[in-house]
Chain A
Amino acid sequence: MDINEIVIISGKGGTGKTTLVSSMVPFLKDVVIADCDVDAPDLNILFGNEIREEEDFVGLQRAQINDDMCMKCGQCYDKCKFDAISEDIVLDTGKCEGCGVCEYVCPVNAIEMKDFVIGKIFVSDTKYGDMVHARLIPGEEASGKLVAQVRKKAKEIAILKGAKNIIIDGSPGIACNVISSVTGVNQVIIVIEPTLSGLHDLKKVHEMVKRFRLSEYIVINKYDMSKVELQKIEDYCEKEKLKIILKIPFNKKLVEAITKKTIPSLYDSEFFKDIGFEKFLLSLK
Chain B
Amino acid sequence: MVCFKGKVAPAAVFVSSPTVVTAPPAPSGPVAPHPEIVRSVTPEQAQAMTAPEKNRLSDWAAKNDPASLSNILGDLVNPQKEIRVAAIAAVKQFRDPSAIPVLKGIAANSDDPSEQQALLDAAEFLSLPVFDLAAKPDAAQPGAAADGGTLQVVVLSDPRQGIKQRRLQNPTATSPQ
Partners in one complex: no
Binding site for A on B (CB under 8 A): none
Binding site for B on A (CB under 8 A): none
